[in-house]
C-alpha cells in the first residue's frame, strides 16, 4: 500500500517544483499523448532519458520514483505474455496450437512494456513535483473557457484535487485496517481465491465507513469556510509563466524532435531485430 505514489508530494525546492503548474499539466498531457505515437526503440530510449533527466533536475530519488512501477508490474507481465504468444507477428520460431513465438512478437512485447512503464513514470513525476493545491489552480485555470457554457470548473477542479489527495490517505487507512484485522486473528494471505475475497469484507466495510466520515468532515469544513459564498474567489498564489516553464517547453520540444527525426533517420529497430534473431537462433 505504501508504494502508491499518486497524490504524494516530494518537496525538494528544485526548478521543476517552481514551474507553473499549468505548464506541467500541459506537458504531462502532451507526454501521454505523444507516447502513443512512438513505435521505435529510439523513441522509447529518448523518453527514458527525458524522464531520467527531469528526475535528476527535480532531485527526486530515482528509487522513490520507481516505486510507482511496482503497482503495474503484474499488468506489464500479463500484457507482455499476451503479446509474445498471441500477437501472430513475423515468422514463428516456436508454435503449438494457438501459441506462437517470434522475434517480432518479442520486440512488440518489449515496446508495450516500455510504453506502460513510461506512462506511469510521467504522471508520477507530476504529482511528486506539484502540490494538490497547485494542481487545483492549474486545472481550474486551463478549464476557464468552459465557464462560458456555465460548466462548474471550480467544483470539478476541487473534486479532482481532493480525489488525488485521498488516494494515499485511503491506502494508509487500508493498511492500518489490515494490520488491525491480522492482530485479531484474521487470515488474509492464506487459502484459495474465494477465501481471500471473502476475507476482504471485514476490510472494505470499515474502509467505506471511514471514507464517508472523511467526506462528511471535509464538506462541513468547506461549508464552515464559506467555500461557495462568493462567486469570485481570490488566490493566495498567482500563477505566472516564467523562464523555467520556457525551458521545460524547449526540453519537451527536443524530446519530440528526437522521437520524430530519430525514428525516421535511424533504423535501430532493424539492428535490434537482427541482434535478437541471431541470439535466438
pLDDT in tens, 154-175: 788 778 778 777 877 888 888 8
DSSP string of 218-235, one letter each residue: HHHHHHHTTTTS-SS---
E runs forming strands in the chain: 92-96, 99-102
Q: What is the pLDDT of residue 1?
A: 47
Report which of residues 236 and 82 the model is more confident about.
82
pLDDT higher than threshold 60 for residue 267: no
The mean pLDDT of the chain is 79
The closest of 273, 258, 278 to 111, measured between CA atoms, is 273
Contacts of 124 (CB under 8 A, 6+ apart): 5, 6, 65, 68
pLDDT in tens, 94-121: 677 777 777 778 888 888 888 899 988 8
Q: How far apart are CA 268 and CA 281, in angstroms?
A: 20
pLDDT, mean of residues 179-199: 75
Q: What is the pLDDT of residue 63?
A: 85
Report which of residues 99 and 5 the model is more confident about.
99
pLDDT, mean of residues 264-281: 57
Contacts of 2 (CB under 8 A, 6+ apart): 171, 172, 175
Which burial class, exposed, middle or buried, applies to 109 when counting CB atoms under 10 A from its CB (0-12, 13-18, 19+)? Answer: buried
pLDDT, mean of residues 78-101: 76
Task: Tell me the domain boundaries of the chain.
Answer: 1-130+242-281, 147-235
Q: How far apart are CA 107 and CA 100, in angstroms?
A: 14
pLDDT, mean of residues 26-51: 87
pLDDT, mean of residues 238-250: 84
Q: What is the dihedral of CA 193, 74, 276, 34, to 10 degrees?
A: 150
Range of weakest confidence among 42-46, 82-86, 122-126, 233-237 = 233-237
pLDDT higher than threshold 60 for residue 277: no
Range of weakest confidence among 67-81, 95-109, 181-195, 266-280 = 266-280
Amino acid at each position: 500500500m505504501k508504494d502508491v505514489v499518486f497524490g504524494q508530494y516530494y518537496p525538494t525546492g528544485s526548478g521543476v517544483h517552481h514551474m507553473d503548474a499549468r505548464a506541467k499539466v500541459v506537458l504531462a498531457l502532451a507526454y501521454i499523448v505523444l507516447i502513443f505515437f512512438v513505435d521505435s526503440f529510439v523513441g522509447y530510449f529518448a523518453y527514458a532519458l527525458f524522464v531520467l533527466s527531469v528526475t535528476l533536475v527535480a532531485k527526486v530519488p530515482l528509487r522513490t520514483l520507481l516505486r510507482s512501477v511496482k503497482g503495474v508490474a503484474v499488468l506489464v507481465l500479463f500484457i507482455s505474455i499476451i503479446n509474445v504468444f498471441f500477437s501472430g507477428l513475423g515468422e514463428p520460431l516456436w508454435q503449438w496450437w494457438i501459441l506462437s513465438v517470434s522475434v517480432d512478437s518479442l520486440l512488440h512485447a518489449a515496446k508495450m512494456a516500455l510504453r506502460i512503464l513510461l506512462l506511469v513514470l510521467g504522471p508520477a513525476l507530476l504529482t511528486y513535483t506539484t502540490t494538490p493545491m497547485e494542481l487545483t489552480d492549474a486545472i481550474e485555470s486551463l478549464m476557464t473557457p468552459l465557464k462560458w457554457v456555465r460548466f462548474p470548473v471550480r467544483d470539478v477542479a476541487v473534486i479532482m484535487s481532493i480525489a488525488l489527495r485521498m488516494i494515499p490517505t485511503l491506502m494508509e487507512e487500508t493498511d492500518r485496517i489490515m494490520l488491525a484485522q491480522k492482530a485479531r486473528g484474521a487470515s488474509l494471505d492464506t487459502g484459495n481465491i474465494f477465501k481471500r475475497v471473502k476475507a476482504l469484507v471485514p476490510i472494505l466495510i470499515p474502509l467505506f465507513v471511514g471514507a464517508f466520515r472523511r467526506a462528511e468532515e471535509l464538506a462541513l469544513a468547506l461549508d464552515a469556510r464559506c467555500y461557495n459564498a462568493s462567486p469570485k474567489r481570490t488566490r493566495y498564489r498567482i500563477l505566472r509563466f516564467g523562464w523555467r516553464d520556457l525551458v521545460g517547453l524547449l526540453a519537451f520540444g527536443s524530446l519530440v524532435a528526437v522521437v520524430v527525426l530519430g525514428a525516421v533517420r535511424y533504423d535501430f529497430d532493424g539492428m535490434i531485430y537482427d541482434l535478437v534473431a541471431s541470439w535466438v537462433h
